Amino acid sequence: MSSSGSFNNEAPLLSITLAQLNPTVGDVVGNAAKALEARARAAEDGADLVMLPELFLLGYPPEDLVLRRSVLAACEREIAKLAASTADGGPALFVPAPRRAADGEGIENAAFFLADGKILASQAKVELPNYGVFDDARVFRPGALPDPITFRGVRIGCLICEDMWLPRVADHLAKHGAELLLVPNGSPFELGKRRRRHELAAERARAANLPLVYLNQVGGQDELVFDGDSFVVDRTGRIVATLPRFAEATATIEFRRGDAGIECLSLGADEVGEDDDDLADVWQAMVLGLRDYVRKTGFPGIVLGLSGGIDSALSLAVAVDALGAQNVRAVRLPSKYTSQQSMDDAQENADRLGVQLDTVPIVETVAALEHTLDETAGALNDLTAQNLQARTRGVLLMALSNQLGLMLLTTGNKSEMSVGYATLYGDMCGGYSVLKDVYKTMVFDLAKWRNTHRPPGALGPNGVVIPEAIIVRPPSAELKPDQTDQDNLPPYDQLDRILHMLIEDELPVADIVAAGEPEAIVRRVQKMLYAAEYKRRQAPPGVKITPRNLSRDRRWPIANGWRE
C-alpha cells in the first residue's frame, strides 16, 4: 500500500510492512523462511519493520503441540536465527512465537521484537481466551502487562489478539506513553466477526487516542479459517487502510509524527467498505478451509459421492473452486431407489464443473449383504436396510479413497448433523466437510449464489454450476421409495429456525415457543439434538462458519441425563 493522501510529500518516520501470511502449524522452519521472504520484500519497499500475525513461528492455534520441549527449542533456535538476520541493517522483525516463561514455569504466547542482530524486546499475551474454539488458558500462562517498546524513536505498544478484546492492556500501554498500537492476531472467521473486530479496534484506538494496526493471520487450520482482512485505524477509530480478505498479502504502511502524535500516511479510506455479503464470505471460508486442509495434510485432491442432491452438488462446487476440477473426482453409486433424474442431474452437475464422474452401482452389493444377514437377522427392517445402503456407499467410497489416494469429502450439513439425520459409518464417512456448520436453508442460498457469482481466486467456471433441477427438488435420501427428508424432519426453514435458537442463541424451549414455534416440534428437535451428540463426536471436522459450530464451540456430554 503506497502512501497517498494529504501527507504525501513528507518523509515517513516509520514504515511497517504488514505480512498477512498463511503459516502451517508445526512447520517452524518453513514459517521462519516465510518470515524472511516477507522481510526481503519489505526491504525492497524500504520498510523499517516487518510485522507478523499471532504465534506466527509455530502457527496458531498450536494446541498441545506447544507443550513439547522440542517445539519450544525449535522456536528458540529460529528466533535466534531471525534475530541474527536483522544485523544486515535491513528491516526489523516483529515475530510472535511461544516461549518458556522466564521462571521456567509454564509457556507464554509471546512476541519478539528483533532488530540490529538481537532481541530488542519481547512480551507475552496477557488475556488468554478460554471460550468457544479457544483453549489458550489450557496451554499458556498469562504474561505481565507490557510496556511500550521504543524503536526508531517511536514508542510502540503491542497487544496480542485477545489483549485487544478487553480494555486492560491498551489502557496500560496508553498510560505508559505508547504512541502507536500494533495488534498481531490469530482471529478465525465466523459470521458477524468482521464488524465486531472493527468496532473493538476503533473503541481501543479512540480510548487510547492512538492509531492501531490490526494484522490477522490468513489460511485454514483444521476447522478454523483465518480470513486475514487486516486493517489500520486512526486515533478517531476510522479505518484508513485495509488488506485483502481470505488471501495472503503484504502491505507497507507509513507513519509520521503529526501535531496530534503518530499518524498513518496511507489514507485508503475510500476503498474501505463494510462488505456484508454473508454468502460470499461463507463461500470464501469454505474454499480456503478445504484448500488448506487438503494441501496441509498432503492430499493431491478429493473424491466424493455425487447423488444428484443439493449437498453433494454444493460440496462438489466448493471442491472445484478450491482445488481445480482436475483434482476432484465424483462417483455415482445408484441403488434400486435411485431415480433417473438423480443420475441425470449428477451427470449435468459434474459436466458443468468439468469433473470426471464414475458410476459404481450398489444394487448387487446391497442384495448380497442382505442375503448374508438373512439367516441371523431375518428380513431387514426399514431403518436397517436404509443404513445398509448408506454404509455400502461409505465402504466403496473409502475404498476409492484408498485406491486413488484422494481424501473422501463428507457432505452432511449442520441441520442434519444437529439432529443426527445421517448414517454413522455410512454417509458420515470421510475426512473433512465444508457444510458441517452450514444450515440446509443456507445450502440452498449458497447454491443460488454460486450460480450467479464466481468468487475471486475460484478455480471453477463461471455461470450455472449447480443445475436448477437440483435446487428445486425436495431433498431426499433416496433410501426407500418416494422418501423425502420431510417424512422424518420438520420443514427445513422451521427446523433451521429452531436449531438456531437452540444452538446459536442457547434459548430454553419456553422462549422458542414464545417466539411462535409449536412446543411439540421444539421438544422433538431438542430431543434429536441431544441424542445425536454421539454421532457428532464421530463426525469428520468441517469449516467453522457460525459463532457456534458443532465441535469446539459446543462441548456437550454424550451420556447426558439432563432434559429441559
Ligand X SMILES: Nc1ncnc2c1ncn2[C@@H]1O[C@H](COP(=O)(O)OP(=O)(O)OC[C@H]2O[C@@H]([n+]3cccc(C(=O)O)c3)[C@H](O)[C@@H]2O)[C@@H](O)[C@H]1O
Ligand Y SMILES: NC(=O)CC[C@H](N)C(=O)O
Which partner, ligand Y, ligand ATP, ligand X, none, binds residue 284 by CB below 5 to 8 Å per kind?
none
Residue type, 258: G
Whole-angstrom Cα distance, residue 17 to residue 102? Answer: 30
Written as nine digits, the cell of 306 is 455425487
Smallest gap, in angstroms, from Cβ of residue 422 to ligand ATP? 7
310 in a known ligand binding site: yes
DSSP string, 408-425: EEE---HHHHHHT-S-TT
Which partner, ligand ATP, ligand Y, ligand X, none, binds residue 387 by CB below 5 to 8 Å per kind?
ligand X
Sheet of 14-20, strand order: 118-124, 107-115, 92-100, 49-51, 14-20, 249-258, 261-264
Q: Are strands 407-410 and 432-433 parallel, antiparallel or unpaired?
A: parallel
What sign has the CA pseudo-torsion 333, 337, 341, 342? negative
Nearer to ligand X, 159 or 318 (CB): 318
Smallest gap, in angstroms, from Cβ of residue 302 to ligand X? 18
- Residue 460, Cα to own-chain centre: how many angstroms? 21
Written as nine digits, the cell of 391 is 454404509
Nearer to ligand Y, 54 or 292 (CB): 54
State phi, psi for 465 to the nearest 5 degrees: -110, -20
Of 34, 78, 127, 161, the catalytic one is: 161
Active site residue 429: no
CB 265 within 8 A of CB 251: no
Whole-angstrom Cα distance, residue 243 to residue 264? Answer: 15
544 in a known ligand binding site: no
Smallest gap, in angstroms, from Cβ of residue 429 to ligand X? 11
Smallest gap, in angstroms, from Cβ of residue 441 to ligand ATP? 13
Whole-angstrom Cα distance, residue 475 to residue 484? Answer: 6
187 in a known ligand binding site: yes
Q: Which of residues 79-118 bind ligand Y (CB under 6 A)?
A: none
Which H/E stretch holds residue 212?
strand 212-216
Written as nine digits, the cell of 218 is 490468513
Interacting residues with ligand X (CB under 6 A): 383, 386-387, 390, 416, 420-424, 426-427, 477, 479, 485, 488, 534, 558
DSSP string, 249-276: EEEEEEEEEETTEEEESB--GGG-----
**Bridge partners of residue 16, in order along the sequence:** 49, 253
Which partner, ligand ATP, ligand Y, ligand X, none, binds residue 161 by CB below 5 to 8 Å per kind?
ligand Y
Q: What number of other Cβ atoms are within 10 A of residue 510's Cβ?
A: 11
Interacting residues with ligand ATP (CB under 6 A): 304-307, 309-312, 331-334, 338, 393, 411, 416, 427, 475, 477-478
> Where does residue 69 rank: exposed (0-12), middle (13-18), buried (19+ CB within 10 A)?
exposed
Binder among 42, 161, 310, 330 for ligand Y (CB under 6 A): 161
Nearer to ligand X, 143 or 475 (CB): 475
305 in a known ligand binding site: yes
> Where does residue 351 rank: exposed (0-12), middle (13-18), buried (19+ CB within 10 A)?
exposed
Nearer to ligand X, 33 or 383 (CB): 383
Nearer to ligand ATP, 140 or 432 (CB): 432
Smallest gap, in angstroms, from Cβ of residue 383 to ligand X? 5
Nearer to ligand ATP, 120 or 325 (CB): 325
Which partner, ligand ATP, ligand X, ligand Y, none, binds residue 129 by CB below 5 to 8 Å per kind?
ligand Y
Which partner, ligand X, ligand ATP, ligand Y, none, binds residue 383 by CB below 5 to 8 Å per kind?
ligand X
Closest among 94, 161, 95 to 125, alpha carbons compared? 161
CB 72 within 8 A of CB 89: no
Which partner, ligand X, ligand ATP, ligand Y, none, binds residue 312 by CB below 5 to 8 Å per kind?
ligand ATP
CA atoms within 13 A on the CB side of 237: 12
Q: What number of other Cβ atoms are within 10 A of residue 370's Cβ?
A: 16
308 in a known ligand binding site: yes
Q: Which of residues 448-507 bind ligand Y (CB under 6 A)?
A: none
Which partner, ligand Y, ligand ATP, ligand X, none, binds residue 386 by CB below 5 to 8 Å per kind?
ligand X
Smallest gap, in angstroms, from Cβ of residue 391 to ligand X? 8
424 in a known ligand binding site: no
Residue type, 312: S
User: Which residue is at the shortest CB distance from ligand Y?
Assistant: 187
131 in a known ligand binding site: yes
Which partner, ligand X, ligand ATP, ligand Y, none, binds residue 430 by CB below 5 to 8 Å per kind?
none
Nearer to ligand ATP, 149 or 323 (CB): 323
Of 125, 296, 414, 440, the catalytic one is: 125
411 in a known ligand binding site: yes
Helix, strand, coil distribution of the chain in percent, nearest 5: 40, 20, 40
Nearer to ligand X, 162 or 416 (CB): 416
Q: Is 516 helix (H, G, I), strand (E, B) or coil?
A: coil
User: Does 187 participate in binding ligand Y (rule CB under 6 A)?
Assistant: yes
Of 34, 54, 75, 348, the catalytic one is: 54
Written as nine digits, the cell of 346 is 449428477
CA-based angle 423:386:561, to the nearest 5? 45
Smallest gap, in angstroms, from Cβ of residue 160 to ligand Y? 7
Smallest gap, in angstroms, from Cβ of residue 54 to ligand Y? 6
Active site residue 127: no
Active site residue 54: yes
* Catalytic residue numbers, as ranges: 54, 125, 161
Which residues contact ligand Y by CB under 6 A? 54, 129, 134, 161-162, 165, 185-187
Annotated binding site for ATP: 305-312, 411
Annotated binding site: 131, 187, 193, 305-312, 387, 411, 416, 535
Annotated binding site for L-glutamine: 131, 187, 193
